[in-house]
Amino acid sequence: MNNLPSDLKNHIQKTVLKRVIPCVLLLAVFGVLLLVWGRRIFNMDNPNMRILCYIVTMLIPLWITGVPKKLIDRTYRGEIIGMRVKRSVDNESYVKPTIEHMFYKNTVYLDLRLDNGKEVTVKAYEGRDTDLNPYFYQKGDRVFHLYGTKNTIVLPAEKKKAVRCAVCGLLNSTEDDECQDCGHTLVKD
């Protein structure tokens, strides 16, 4: 999307850097480790075996940081043509999952017709089952998602008075141009 406000473009760049830099640093550390101690750590006769060990070792930083999976996202804008809510059980304590800590989680999938005519299904929302969410999406609404954020916001129709910030998710007045919390440009179509 080329017509994004420049502060939102900057936000995307920062998000990518924040995710890539730790991975690059870890890769460098592992690379140096292998260069210096590789032969001692993987002390084996078969050179092919050692190369395999090196490759597997270099995959560890990717696995720890979650790159490249974390980078798979995109900015999109489109109209909701279908909606599906999946209800599942989650637990807030990963260390010691108990029944007391169990809760219902809603995951909202939206079928969208993007502005370029393509039809896609996206995961728009994931969170606890409460009274409010996830039913703020309606068929026919136009939505917007900025790369790397957790939000898929509803673009305000003419009569609507509020719009969510695409970056932090705060509900702002449509009269404002910038988010009252994080200061990023509000996308109103």
Q: Whole-angstrom Cα distance, residue 91 to residue 102?
A: 4
By C-beta, is 68 or 183 nearer to Zn ion?
Answer: 183
Q: How far is the CB of 80 from Zn ion (least distance, A)?
A: 22
By C-beta, is 108 or 167 nearer to Zn ion?
Answer: 167
Stretch that binds Zn ion, among 19-27, 51-59, 82-90, 166-174 (CB under 5 A): 166-174
Interface of this chain with Zn ion, residues 137 to 156, rule: CB under 5 A: none
Q: How far is the CB of 110 from Zn ion (least distance, A)?
A: 21
Q: Whole-angstrom Cα distance, residue 157 to residue 119?
A: 21
Give which of 129, 136, 90, 77 is closest to 106, Cα–Cα: 129
Q: How far is the CB of 166 from Zn ion (least distance, A)?
A: 8
Q: Whole-angstrom Cα distance, residue 85 to residue 103?
A: 16
User: In Å, how far are 42, 52, 76 from 46, measured between CA atoms?
Assistant: 10, 10, 50
By C-beta, is 165 or 187 nearer to Zn ion?
Answer: 165
Q: Does 92 bind Zn ion (CB under 5 A)?
A: no
Q: Whole-angstrom Cα distance, residue 119 to residue 168?
A: 26
Single residue of 168, 174, 188, 189 touching Zn ion by CB under 5 A: 168
Residues 6 or more apart whose CB falls under 8 angstroms from that of 75 comprise: 1, 4, 12, 145, 146, 147
Q: Does 114 bind Zn ion (CB under 5 A)?
A: no
Single residue of 9, 182, 185, 188 touching Zn ion by CB under 5 A: 182
By C-beta, is 110 or 146 nearer to Zn ion?
Answer: 146
By C-beta, is 154 or 165 nearer to Zn ion?
Answer: 165
Helix (H, G, I), strand (E, B) or coil at 94: coil
Binding site for Zn ion (CB under 5 A): 165, 167-168, 170, 179, 181-182
